[in-house]
Each structure stands twice: as structure tokens, then as C-alpha cells.
């Protein structure tokens, strides 16, 4: 454009001539509102509609209060009155920011400028709005979210930790220190953290931690264990949830939360007690039904055998032996006895039908799973001694069945210890796994330092329905033996062991 053009440009001579003032108002990039002294919006430009999220004309006639969060409305009313008493240009917000409300309910931080205007004799105010400093807004949002997090953390009773794996120290919050009974302040050594964990849960925790720290895994730690508070000596159930952060394939930090789950554990314990009661009842019912099924199968052949035997006996006693009659009676006895035997086999075959699903198992993992289950069941007070041979060959077996066998042996051991009143600190259950290479089997030993058996008892413990317990059924050991045998192994008791009871079972290698 040439200078001459500019000089002759009529818009320069009188830039506002012919211009619609509303168009100018609407074209301004700053958000503007014209509000009267009763607090009603008379005009709003497009920028204002945009930042408040309203459509065209929706802002006009609206009470300006509607643009203010309810908690600030009271204050706003007195401010509006004060402004119209001494109307003068002023800037507000000055970096502190004021909070306004969008139509969608979101809050908006703005700095506000106010200019008094008189329109047709009535006082109005032109409000210009500038979104407040972004950093300030972000800080505010962060503070709000931190406050929310803190409230949620307190409501949920969460303790927070940040484990510096390299230096072996744990930065923790007040709640975690309370749970651990730590007086060391908010930095704890990993040794101190471990020391508070119940001795029977320490090893499983360390195994879980090692797994989480393995860069090939997902870095997650999730476990439940007991913590003995160093101050009040109270045992509490804790859940830990954490995530390991790796740097160049090395575990750097483990950050997470801990929570007291005593209440949940109590509920679980009650539930388990109810389940155990139901299981015992069910076991008794199964025993009664099985016995009556056997009685049913044997009853008629036994009656027949008894009648034929009597006939034969009478014939012999009478002195005049009718050999045909005696032969028939004895033959009938044999037939009935064979029938009874067949019926029993058929009944057993019926009860044993169904295939057992087997898989290659790491027996140490099955032992650990059984231990976790036993811990949850709260199977009494004793020290657990584990001697699990590493790198065992896998065995082929049904996981649930073998877990059940280990649990049953542990349950018997814990009950024996309890009945004998073995001092809680001396009571020990030891579990050992070992490789018997020459036999191509893995052997599991479960041993306790309870009262053991006398010579008579030990002869019967694998017999069905043999029990020395007031509420026992006597099917645990026979079932364990049947399960191990169904998986190709053997289960026996060590009769030479006299410091308690010692059971062994074997399972064949998955690949021999
Ligand atoms: P139950 O536990 O219902 O009695 P089991 O078949 O499991 O049935 O056990 C049979 C019996 O063997 C028990 O009643 C007990 O006398 C004896 N027994 C089993 N395990 C042990 C043990 N670890 N120490 C002492 N006695 C045991």
C-alpha cells in the first residue's frame, strides 16, 4: 500500500465513523461483560461466551452471580455494592486470581479489570477478564489434587513408602512409621523394615520382593504379611502394594503403599472357620453315605451267606450229611461272597471315576502356595522352618491335590503341637524338599516336634476312620495317601523318628 493511499483512506480520518460499536465490542480478543448495578449481565462478547462455555446470547440477562462458585457469592454481593458506591476503574486478581464458574461446572481462574460506565443514566460496570497466569493455575490444581490425595490417603489409612533400592533405605510417611512402631523418623533402613515382619512371613516377602525386582517381570509387588509393632508388640495384618522403577534394567526405586487389613482378616478368619465347620460336616456326611452305600452292597450277600452257612452247619451237626445239600449251600456262599466283592469293586470304580489333570510342577512353588493358604487360615502359633532345595526337577502331578496333601500334613502337625501344649516359641514345623536323583523322584518331608505317636497308634493312622481327636473323622491321612498314589508317588510315616511326627511323600519327575 502506498503512502498516498493511506492519506486518502477515509477510515483513518474518522476510524469510528460508520462502525457498529457492538461489532467492536464483540471483536475484542479479551472477554468482556457489561453488568448493571443489580448484578445482571447486559452484554457479553464472543470471547466471554467462549471462556464461560455459553452459546450466543445465553449470557445476556443472566445474574452475574451464576458465574461465581456458590462459596464466593456472598463475598461477591458485598463487593458489587461497594463498587457502585465508589465506582472507579480498578484491576483485580493481580496474580492471585479469582475463581469463576463455567457453564459445565468447571472452575476458571481469571484476573479481572473493572471500568465504571454510565448507560442511559444508570450505572454499569464493564468487566474484562483475563485467564490467570497458567503456572499459578497449575500450582493451584496441583495443590488441590495433593490435598485430595492426602484426604483420601488418610481416609483409607494408607501408609506410603519409597524404597531407594541402591542405598537400602526406605523413605516413609507417619502412618507407616506408626504401623511399624518405628521411632527412627521417616527414613528407615530396609533391615529395620524387614525386622518388623513376622518371622514366618519374612521369607515369602523376600521372595515376592525379589520377583518384583526382576527386570524381566512386571515390577509389581502385592503381598499380605504380619507386622509386629516395635512399640506395642501387637501383631497386625498388612497389605503391601508397590511398583518397582527400573533404570537401564536395574531396580532403582520401589514406591507404594501399605494398609492395615486386620478387619478384613478377621472377617476372612470367621469365614474360614465357618467353611472348616461346613467341611467337617460335609466329610461326616460323605463318610456316613459311603458307609451306608457299602452296607447296602454287602447286606444281601452277607445275609444269604449267613443263611447258606447255617444250612450247611445244621446238616453237618445232624450227622446225616446230605452232600448235595451241603455242596449247594457252600457253592451259594462262594457265589454270594464273589458277588459282594464285585459289588464293592464296582462301587469303588464308580466313586473313583473322573480323570486327574496333571501338569509339570515346581514342588517348591506348591509348598509356598500351601503356606500362604495355611497362613491365611491362621493355623496356630509355631515357627516354620523351610529347607527347599533350589533347582529341583519338575514333578508331574495335580497341583490342587498336592497342595491339599501338604496342607493336611501341616494341619495335623499344628493340631498335634497345640494338643501337646508345646511352648509357642519352641513349636516348630519343618518342611523340606529334596531331589532323590537315583529314584527319579522329589521327596517332601513335613515334620513337627509335637508328641508323635505311640507304637499302637502308628499302625492304624492310615486306616480310614481312625482318629484320636474328639472331632476328627480319620480320613485325612488315608485321602492324602490315596492322592499321592494317584499321582504316582508314595506317602509314609517315619516310624524311627521319635521327636515328634515326620511324614514323607515322593512324586516322580515330570521327565525321567
Ligand atoms: P483326623 O485328623 O481327622 O484325626 P487323620 O487321618 O488326618 O484324621 O489323622 C489320623 C490320626 O493320625 C490322628 O487322629 C492322629 O492320631 C494321628 N496323627 C496324624 N498326624 C499326626 C501328627 N503330626 N502328630 C501326631 N499324630 C498325628
In this prediction, residue 113 carries a pLDDT of 85
Q: What are phi and psi of 120, to 5 degrees?
A: 45, 45
- Which atom of ligand 1 is closest in space to residue 478's alpha carbon? 6
In this prediction, residue 264 carries a pLDDT of 85
Burial class (CB in 10 A: 0-12, 13-18, 19+), 369: middle
Please indicate whether residue 430, judged by its CB atom, sits closer than 6 Å to ligand 1: no
Distance of alpha carbon 56 from alpha carbon 49, whole angstroms: 7
> In which band, very low, low, confident or very high, does the pLDDT at 291 lie, cut at 50, 70 and 90?
confident
Query: What are the beta bridge partners of residue 256?
Result: 161, 242
Question: Region 365-387: what's the mean pLDDT?
Answer: 84
Q: Contact, 158 vs 175, CB < 8 A?
A: yes
Half-sphere exposure of 233 (CA within 13 A, CB side): 0
Closest Cα to residue 488, out of 463, 461, 510?
Answer: 510
Q: By percentage, how much of the chain surpasses pLDDT 90?
A: 46
Please indicate whether residue 476, judged by its CB atom, sits closer than 6 Å to ligand 1: yes
User: How remote is the CA of residue 433 from the centroid of ligand 1, in Å?
Assistant: 22
Please indicate whether residue 33, judged by its CB atom, sits closer than 6 Å to ligand 1: no
User: How remote is the CA of residue 457 from the centroid of ligand 1, in Å?
Assistant: 9
User: How remote is the CA of residue 444 from the centroid of ligand 1, in Å?
Assistant: 18
- Which atom of ligand 1 is closest in space to residue 473's alpha carbon? 3
Distance of alpha carbon 285 from alpha carbon 184, whole angstroms: 56
Give per-residue pLDDT as tens, 455-474: 999 999 999 889 999 888 88
- Which atom of ligand 1 is closest in space to residue 500's alpha carbon? 24
In this prediction, residue 120 carries a pLDDT of 85
Which cell numbers in the block locate residue 317?
451237626
Q: Contact, 449 vs 418, CB < 8 A?
A: no
In this prediction, residue 16 carries a pLDDT of 56
Query: What are the beta bridge partners of residue 32?
Result: 128
Which cell numbers in the block locate residue 123?
450505572
SS3 63: strand
Please indicate whether residue 464, judged by its CB atom, sits closer than 6 Å to ligand 1: no
Question: Region 135-139: what's the mean pLDDT?
Answer: 69
Distance of alpha carbon 388 from alpha carbon 238, whole angstroms: 26
In this prediction, residue 267 carries a pLDDT of 86
Please indicate whether residue 412, judged by its CB atom, sits closer than 6 Å to ligand 1: yes
Give per-residue pLDDT as tens, 377-434: 666 778 889 999 999 999 999 998 999 899 999 999 999 998 877 777 788 999 999 9
In this prediction, residue 178 carries a pLDDT of 92
Helix axes 323-351, 262-318, angle to 10 degrees: 170
| Mean of the per-residue pLDDT values of the chain | 86
Give per-residue pLDDT as tens, 222-269: 999 999 999 999 999 999 999 999 998 999 999 999 999 988 888 888
In this prediction, residue 80 carries a pLDDT of 85
Mutate to test the pocket of ligand 1, among 281, 414, 467 (most ligand atoms within 8 A of CB): 467
Please indicate whether residue 472, judged by its CB atom, sits closer than 6 Å to ligand 1: yes
Protein residue with its CA nearest to atom 23 in ligand 1: 413
Distance of alpha carbon 366 from alpha carbon 487, whole angstroms: 14
Protein residue with its CA nearest to atom 13 in ligand 1: 467
Q: Contact, 361 vs 399, CB < 8 A?
A: yes
Angle subtended at Cα 95 by Cα 93 and Cα 100, rounded to the nearest 5 degrees: 45
Please indicate whether residue 466, judged by its CB atom, sits closer than 6 Å to ligand 1: yes
Protein residue with its CA nearest to atom 17 in ligand 1: 461
Please indicate whether residue 413, judged by its CB atom, sits closer than 6 Å to ligand 1: yes
In this prediction, residue 299 carries a pLDDT of 83
Please indicate whether residue 501, judged by its CB atom, sits closer than 6 Å to ligand 1: yes
Amino acid at each position: 500500500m502506498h503512502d498516498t493511499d493511506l492519506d486518502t483512506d477515509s477510515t483513518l480520518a474518522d476510524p469510528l465513523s460508520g462502525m457498529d460499536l457492538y461489532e467492536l465490542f464483540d471483536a475484542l480478543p479479551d472477554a468482556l461483560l457489561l453488568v448493571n448495578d443489580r448484578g445482571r449481565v447486559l452484554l457479553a462478547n464472543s470471547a466471554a461466551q467462549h471462556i464461560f462455555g455459553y452459546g450466543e446470547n445465553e449470557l445476556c440477562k443472566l445474574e452475574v452471580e451464576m458465574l461465581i462458585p456458590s462459596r464466593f457469592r456472598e463475598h461477591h454481593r458485598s463487593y458489587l455494592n461497594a463498587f457502585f458506591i465508589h465506582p472507579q476503574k480498578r484491576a483485580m486478581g493481580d496474580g492471585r486470581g479469582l475463581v469463576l464458574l463455567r457453564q459445565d461446572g468447571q472452575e476458571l481462574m481469571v484476573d479481572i479489570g473493572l471500568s465504571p460506565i454510565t448507560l442511559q443514566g444508570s450505572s454499569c460496570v464493564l468487566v474484562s477478564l483475563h485467564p490467570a497466569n497458567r503456572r499459578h493455575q497449575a500450582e493451584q490444581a496441583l495443590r488441590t489434587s495433593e490435598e485430595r490425595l492426602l484426604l483420601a490417603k488418610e481416609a483409607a489409612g494408607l501408609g506410603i513408602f519409597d524404597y531407594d533400592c541402591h542405598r537400602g533405605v526406605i523413605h516413609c510417611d507417619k502412618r507407616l512409621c506408626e504401623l511399624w512402631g518405628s521411632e527412627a523418623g521417616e527414613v528407615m533402613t530396609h533391615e529395620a523394615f524387614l525386622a518388623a515382619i513376622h518371622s514366618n512371613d519374612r521369607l515369602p516377602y523376600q521372595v515376592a520382593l525379589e520377583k518384583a525386582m526382576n527386570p524381566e517381570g512386571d515390577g509389581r509387588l502385592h503381598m499380605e504379611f504380619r507386622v509386629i509393632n516395635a512399640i506395642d508388640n501387637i501383631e497386625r495384618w498388612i497389605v503391601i502394594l508397590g511398583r518397582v522403577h527400573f533404570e537401564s534394567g536395574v531396580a532403582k526405586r520401589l514406591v507404594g503403599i501399605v494398609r492395615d487389613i486386620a478387619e478384613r482378616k478377621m472377617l476372612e478368619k470367621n469365614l474360614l472357620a465357618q467353611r472348616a465347620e461346613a467341611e467337617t460336616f460335609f466329610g461326616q456326611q460323605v463318610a456316613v453315605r459311603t458307609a451306608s452305600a457299602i452296607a447296602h452292597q454287602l447286606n444281601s450277600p452277607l445275609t444269604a451267606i449267613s443263611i447258606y452257612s447255617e444250612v450247611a452247619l445244621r446238616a453237618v451237626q445232624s450227622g446225616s450229611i446230605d452232600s448235595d445239600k451241603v455242596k449247594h449251600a457252600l457253592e451259594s456262599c462262594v457265589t454270594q461272597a464273589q458277588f459282594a466283592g464285585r459289588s464293592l469293586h464296582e462301587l469303588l470304580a464308580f466313586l473313583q471315576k473322573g480323570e486327574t489333570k496333571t501338569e509339570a510342577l515346581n514342588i517348591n512353588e506348591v509348598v509356598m502356595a500351601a503356606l500362604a493358604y495355611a497362613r491365611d487360615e491362621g493355623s496356630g502359633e509355631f515357627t516354620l522352618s523351610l529347607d527347599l532345595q533350589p533347582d529341583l526337577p519338575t514333578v508331574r502331578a495335580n497341583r490342587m491335590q498336592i497342595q491339599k496333601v501338604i496342607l493336611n500334613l501341616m494341619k495335623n502337625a499344628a493340631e498335634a503341637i497345640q494338643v501337646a501344649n508345646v511352648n509357642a516359641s519352641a513349636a516348630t514345623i519343618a518342611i523340606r524338599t529334596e531331589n532323590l536323583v537315583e529314584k527319579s523322584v522329589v521327596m517332601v518331608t513335613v515334620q513337627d516336634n509335637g508328641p508323635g505317636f505311640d507304637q499302637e497308634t502308628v499302625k492304624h493312622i492310615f486306616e480310614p476312620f481312625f482318629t484320636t481327636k474328639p472331632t476328627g473323622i480319620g480320613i485325612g491321612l488315608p485321602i492324602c495317601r490315596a492322592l499321592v498314589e494317584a499321582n504316582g508317588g508314595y506317602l509314609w510315616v517315619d516310624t524311627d523318628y521319635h521327636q515328634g511326627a515326620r511324614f514323607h511323600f515322593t512324586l516322580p519327575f515330570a521327565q525321567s
